[in-house]
Amino acid sequence: MNAYKKATLTEIVEDLVNMDPSMRFAAIIDLKGNILESIMKKGKTSLKTQKEEEHFCVQVAQRRKMRQEFDKGLGKVRYVQVEREKVTQIVIYPKRKTVYFTLEPELSATKKMAIINRAKKITMHL
């Protein structure tokens, strides 16, 4: 049994930001884009205002719905990665929630995949 099944959303986002020094922010979002729980890593400053963060999360939910149109032909999305100058953004899609987190930019592909795979294990029951 997954040890995270009984963990609270707060414990899950804390585990996400603490799993690697390059982690910046983690959020669990419902299917409508509402932030259920989020945390900024200690010592990091947000690159977006709270209002911008909330707007971004609504868009994440909308993009999830748009991507699902292609699930039948292409298969389900495993994760989405956006590389920006100041931050790497990752979105993963467990069944009933969406998980969004950010990392410091310029990490190797191998390091990013290890972080994504660990995050998927932590959140697969959501």
DSSP state of 94: -
pLDDT at 3: 63
Dihedral, CA atoms, 40, 43, 48, 52, nearest 10 degrees? 30
Domains of the chain, start order: 3-123 (3.30.450.30)
What integer is the mean pLDDT of 11-19? 96
pLDDT at 1: 44
Q: Which residues pair with 61 in a beta bridge?
A: none
What integer is the mean pLDDT of 84-100? 95
pLDDT at 2: 54
What are 17-75's pLDDT values in tens digits?
999 999 999 999 999 999 999 999 988 888 888 889 899 999 999 999 999 999 999 99
